Amino acid sequence: MTKRTTVEAAELMLGHEIKALDHGFVIPIDYMGSDNDVVQAARTSFGPSGRPIHDDRGLIRYLLRHRHTTPFEMLEVKFLCRMPIFVARQWIRHRTANVNEMSLRYAEPLEFFYVPDPATVSVQSKDNKQGRGEPLTGEAAAIVLDMFTDGQHEDMARYRRLADEFGLAKELARAVLPVSLYTQWVWKIDLHNLMHFLGLRLDAHAQYEIRVFAEAMAQFVRAWAPLSWEAFEDYRLHAASLSRQELHALRLMLRRGYVDPASAALAAGLRARELDEFCSKVAKCLSSDPEGLPPLSLDIEGESPGTRGTP
């Protein structure tokens, strides 16, 4: 019997491996708090005689919608994760967690290397300096995958020779190992900062390899704090923020009959990437909803279809 807050769905996931990539995983090993602790932390602001406020779900949604972050910092989770080193180097940029990583100064290499799934082997994007473009297929894809595995085996053999035959110190011999080698760490973070991490790394523009780990952690968060997760999906993950210029473009569309988002964006002073991003937000709004709702219409009362000119 424990006096600490527990969540049955989260308890069932503790210690169980959530697979990620070919040899990676995320294992939830501990957590503190629940949705109820978010609510109680928020209500302490009113003191013991504070006036009644929203129900729990409504309060959590209000807090997240209005960016009241402290109540979500009262919840913490600890994961054991195994990932390729190049993923870890991206991941560690989120400096709001407590991390302890295995060290090859002391430990033996795991001898697991990341080899991409053929479906994810793509060329460099022509319009995104840090993204992928068209996938490689056929013989070219096979050659690339062979180069991955051949190079990894050669690097590990080179490490073994340095460490075993020459007795080189591990801290120096490790320098020949590639960033596709797997490492692992314990990662502890509060719910507010975890949601920030997930908001960035679940995005379609995030690198595939780290997005897989974000999806694995999201499975646990969904079970552990379902009301907070619901609010996060509604107000962060599947929402969009608008700049002042984008709001002006939206006004032009709604009040002055600009049916074409690009024309409205240009009239509002948006250019280049900002213009493209605004059009993408409008397209997302007008497309079919994942819940099965029909696509929205941009018919504007009193305006004929088409694109208006400059106001």
Diameter over CA atoms, the chain: 83
* In the chain, alpha helices (H): 8-13, 35-43, 56-65, 85-91, 138-160, 170-173, 191-201, 208-224, 226-232, 244-255, 261-267, 272-286
Candidates 82, 174, 201, 308; catalytic one: 201
Question: How many CB atoms lie under 10 A from the CB of residue 269?
Answer: 12
Output the tens digit of pLDDT for each of the chain's 311 residues: 788 899 999 999 999 999 999 999 999 999 999 999 999 999 887 665 444 445 899 999 999 999 999 999 999 999 999 999 999 999 999 999 999 999 999 999 999 999 999 999 999 998 887 889 999 989 999 999 999 999 999 999 999 999 999 999 999 999 999 999 999 999 999 999 999 999 999 999 999 999 999 999 999 999 999 999 999 999 999 999 999 999 999 999 999 888 899 999 999 999 999 999 999 999 888 875 655 556 655 554 444 434 444 43
Q: Using CB atoms within 10 A of its CB, is residue 259 exposed (0-12), middle (13-18) or buried (19+)?
A: middle
Residue 21 and residue 114 in contact, taking contact as beta carbons nearer than 8 Å:
yes
Query: Is 160 a residue of the active site?
Result: no
Q: Which residues, including other chains, have CB under 8 Å from residue 245's CB and lie 6 or more apart?
A: 268, 269, 270, 274
Are the C-beta atoms of residues 156 and 177 closer than 8 Å to each other? yes
Q: What is the pLDDT of residue 310?
A: 42
Query: What angle (nearest 5°) sits at the alpha carbon of residue 9, between those of residues 6 and 12?
Result: 90
pTM score, two decimals?
0.88
Domains in the chain, CATH or no CATH each:
8-105+182-237 (3.30.1360.170), 118-176 (no CATH), 242-311 (no CATH)
- Please report the pLDDT score of residue 296 as a whole number: 56
